[in-house]
Structure 1
Amino acid sequence: MINAISGDTDFIKGIKNSIFTGFVHSTFNRTFNIFCFENGDLYTIACSKLDNGPNTLIIDVDTMKPMEIEVNDRVRVEKNLLYIEDKHTISIDKAAKWDSVIPTYPCNVEILKRNLIKMKEYINIHGVAGGIKKNVITQNLFDAEVSNMLEKRTLLLLNELLNDRISSALPHAVSLVGLGPGLTPSGDDFLTGLFTIFNMKNSPFYPYRSFCEDVFKKAKTLTNDISYMTLKKAAIGKVRESIISLLNSLLVEDDEDLFLSLNKLLNIGSSSGTDIALGIIFGMEANIRAGGKVC
């Protein structure tokens, strides 16, 4: 028996109601993903070293390697227990419920402006290059061209958003889907950060948050299942705990907390954390330039 430490409230509810069946979709050292027959979503079982997230259950193990979970293993629920074949049983009895709650955009953006400057300086030094952050050292021609495409398309997207041309911005956002290196491509990670900002209540772009759903609806065939699921959730304001922690840190004057939260985000994946963080900066600066506040 393995105990779940915490988990997404809706995921826990589905297990308690015994309405969850599926199969293992993909496996990694620290996570494995389950395809759910009931709604077609992916759900993640993550080790204790990772943060909470949408459709995620954190379990009391350090790594998934010894569990010998395999793709296509059947998954079922009975009496508050999640079964992976007959190999493992996961109990949610002691699991703390977690919800993705994005903070409200501030009425006064002065603190936010100062923190964004600090955030950009930190990423310039500590961020991982190769995705949205350009590599100073030119790599092969293909990587250089992808990097140029990412830069060009993000700038085109920003220009349309700032000129209140939301419909014209849509193809530029879609053009980023699936673009770049990584299990979750850099363009997708960048959009995850941007979608998060669209979902901040009271922000200038909050009334246009349906834009995010318009993008992800066109993304299904453009990227992989895992990345698509991340975009789908981010489009409605459901993102990882580390992203929410950073947003909260950006809204107060506490450098230690800001850099601690930022560093945790930057440690996600290879360049994923950096790409998400740059999407957040992009979204925040677009909000500020578009009007600053709606209170």
Structure 2
Amino acid sequence: MKRTVINAISVSNSVSDRLNGAVLQGVVLHHHTRTCTLALKPEANPEALSPIVVTLADASVEDGPLNILLDAFNLIRERNIAAGASVIYKEDRLELPGVIVSIAGAARWNPAPDWQKARAATGYALDLRTEILRQANSRVSHATLLDFLSPSRPSAGAAETDALTMRFTSVFQQLRQISATSLKDTLAAGADKLAGLGGGLTPAGDDFLCGVMMAVWFSHDDAAKLCKPPAEIMAQRTTTLSAALLREAAMGHCSMSWRRFIASLILRDRALIESAVTGVLSHGATSGADSLAGFLWMLERMEPVSRVSS
């Protein structure tokens, strides 16, 4: 049967580099209204432990480190491709049931902000931390991990007696004590206590940890060395999609909305910062808020390091 060809609009350098010249086989992990996530492994080594995770997405979805945006995602949606369906990648083409996705003409973009410039703005970001948190809280009406940064803010979602809320409360109490020791210990404890904590394809604990690693990259010259080892531990304790996003964060990679947020802090432009915070919060039901909570939480704990370097 002849397959319909769909052209990719954009792809991150991270995904493009992994796919370049490769011959891969894999499966559809999950298929939703605007996204279809794939897990691919080398055809010559299908037993490889860590798959290459790629998300085909509608053009209305923002660029992300794992995303390939398509000009006609509706053609994939209409086929209702089931989880577990076979996928092959070769010669710039992803072959799915009834569909071929060509990435040959897709625009490439860099998922890494200018971290060197960002580090010069750490003192400014710290001074603005409370204002950013206030802005975020004013835009979020449901329970997120931002609540743990704002003890006086009433939870608008789950009851305080909810088992998961109580577990997060306990974890944050422990992390506050550990964060007074060293950055390395804080990241190790986060990997141990937060990875995989929560529900969904990207649990809240993982979103928070991605934000934590964004703060490390924002503030520390040795970010890769600090983030990559705990990220591998995190990846073993969560979903395949979330593991891939944690590994991307450990390399300093993020979505376009996070890139705009970091750029707004570099420019020290209050209007741009306010707009960028809204952009970060718009990601998922709570993922954006939970990742921002991780960033703001970790940024505060890196204050001694950050102020010296700013």
Shorter chain as normaliser: what TM range? 0.7 to 0.9
Contact 2:13 2:111 in 1 (8 A): no
- Maintained 8 Å contact 2:57/2:73: no
Instruction: State the SS of the aligned residue for 2:299.
Output: helix
8 A contact 1:153–1:176 mirrored in 2: yes
Which residue of the partner structure matches residue 83 of structure 2?
71
| Cα distance, 1:142–1:89 mapped onto 2, change above 3 Å | farther
Amino acid at match of 1:219: M
| 8 A contact 2:235–2:247 mirrored in 1 | no
Q: Give CA-to-partner distance per residue, 1:155-191, whole Å, 9 cap, x none.
A: 5324433432633652344201122344311111000
Q: Using the TM superposition, give the Cα deviation of residue 150 of structure 1 relative to its aligned residue in structure 2, in angstroms.
A: 2.0
What is the SS of the residue equivalent to 1:229? Answer: helix
Alignment of 1:155-166 (within 5 A): 155-164=173-182, 166=184
Deviates more, 1:23-32 or 1:209-218: 209-218
Structure 2: distance between partners of 1:258 and 1:115:
10
Q: 1:176 aligns with which of 168, 185, 194?
A: 194
- 1:94 aligns with 105
In structure 1, the partner of 2:150 is none
Q: Distance in 2 between matches of 1:45 and 1:220?
A: 21
- Classify 1:289/1:13 alpha carbon distance in 2 versus 1 (closer, same or farther; 3 Å): closer
Contact 1:108-1:293 within 8 A present in 2 as well: no
Gaps (5+ residues) in structure 2? Answer: 43-47, 148-153
Q: Percent identity?
A: 20
Q: Structure 2 counterpart of 1:265, which letter?
A: V
- Matching residue within 288, 296, 300 for 1:273: 288
Match of residue 126 from structure 1? 139
Tell me, in whole angstroms, the C-alpha distance in 2 between the residues paired with 1:52 and 1:58.
7
Equivalent residues in 2 for 1:33-48, closer than 5 Å: 33-38=37-42, 40-48=51-59
What secondary structure, in the 3-state scheme, does the structure 2 residue paired with 1:247 have? Answer: helix
- Tell me: CA distance 1:57–1:136, structure 2 relative to 1, closer, same or farther (3 Å): same
Q: Which amino acid aligns with 1:57?
A: I
Letter in 2 for 1:177: A
Equivalent of residue 17 in structure 1, options 1, 17, 21: 21
Residues 154, 172 of structure 1: 8 Å contact kept: no
Shift of 1:215: 2.4
Distance 1:279 1:88, change over 3 A: same
More deviation in 223-232 or 147-156?
147-156
Runs of 4+ in structure 1 off by over 4 angstroms are 13-16
Do the aligned partners of 1:131 and 1:180 also contact (CA within 8 Å) in 2?
Answer: no
For residue 136 of structure 1, the aligned residue among 155, 173, 195 is 155
Contact persistence 2:35–2:55 (CA under 8 A)? yes
Counterpart amino acid of 2:108? K
Opposite residue 88 of structure 1, the aligned amino acid is V
1:39-68, Cα deviation, whole Å (9 max, x unpaired): 522211111111222232111136553242
Q: CA deviation at 1:81?
A: 2.2
| Number of residue pairs matched by the alignment | 290
- Shift, 1:256, TM fit: 2.4
CA–CA distance in structure 2, aligned partners of residues 69 and 26 of structure 1: 9
Deviates more, 1:28-37 or 1:105-114: 105-114
* Separation (CA, whole Å) in 2 of partners of 1:116 and 1:141: 26
Residue in structure 1 matched with residue 168 of structure 2 by the alignment: 150
1:270 and 1:221, CA in 2 relative to 1: closer, same or farther beyond 3 A?
A: same
SS of the equivalent of 1:177 reads coil
Partner Cα distance (2:128, 2:161) in 1? 35
Q: In structure 1, give the amino acid aligned to 2:189.
A: P
Q: In structure 1, the residue corresponding to 2:24 is in which secondary structure? A: coil
Change (3 A) 1:132 1:182: farther
